[in-house]
Every structure is written in structure tokens, then in C-alpha cells.
Amino acid sequence: HVQLVESGGGMAEAGGSLKLSCSVSGYRFTSCRLGWYRQVSGEERERVSDISADGTAIYSDSVKGRFTITQDKSKNMLFLQMNNLTADDTAVYYCAAQRRTPIRCAWDYWGQGTQVTVS
């Protein structure tokens, strides 16, 4: 059915940049949102950024001004450009997509994650 696959993770030095990509297959863009989450081992998952079908984006306070989320609907791709990285950005980053139900959209689709390590 719906499959999300992240790529682009790796190691970066503080102040550096990385760009994450997510291939979203079997998914129809609607009024629901796509987004990026991150998680440190043993801690709760944190929403980094998400974007609506019309392109409206939101960011967590910790990344606003440094990260940019974009989508390419024609290619079913989601991106996260990460600039001016800090050690606090170290985490496993997950691509996620909402599934529309008759009453709401829910974060039901998730990728396997890609490790980002900043030193």
C-alpha cells in the first residue's frame, strides 16, 4: 500500500548542512499533511516540521530558521533541508504521512528512519 523511504542521512559537523529525502509511494496528496519527525534512542518522538497539501509549513521552535520542508507532488517526494546543524539535531529522522479518515487525518504512515549525527 503506502510506503515511505528516507535517504540522505549521515554525519555532519556543527554548522554544516544535510538534505533528507523521502519517497512516498502509493500515496494520494489530499488535505492531509506530510512531515518529518525525529527521535533520540529511549526518548519520545518529536515533530520537526510538516507541510499541508497547499504548501503551508510549520516548524518546531528548535529548527525554525534553519530547516526548510518542501514537497514535489508530481514526483511524490518530500524533502528536509537542514542548515547550520548543531549537536542537538542528532537523532533518527522519520518521514511520515497522514491518512485521511471520514473525521480526521492521522499520522498512520511512517518510514524506517535515517540516522543524522552532528558533531
Tens digits of residue pLDDT in 16-72: 999 999 999 998 877 789 999 999 999 999 999 999 989 999 999 999 999 999 999
Assess contact for 54 and 45: CB atoms under 8 A. Answer: no
Instruction: Give the whole-angstrom CA distance, residue 116 versus residue 32.
Output: 26
Residue 101 pLDDT > 90, yes or no?
no
Nine-digit cell at 24? 512516498
Q: What is the pLDDT of residue 75?
A: 92
Q: In sequence order, which residues have a C-beta less than 8 Å from that of residue 22 and are 6 or more positions away?
A: 4, 5, 6, 7, 34, 36, 77, 78, 79, 80, 95, 111
Instruction: Give the whole-angstrom CA distance, residue 25 versus residue 32.
Output: 15
Residue 1 pLDDT > 90, yes or no?
no
Mean pLDDT of 83-103: 95
The strand pairing partners of 5, in sequence order, are: 23
Assess contact for 20 and 70: CB atoms under 8 A. Answer: no
Q: What is the pLDDT of residue 97?
A: 96
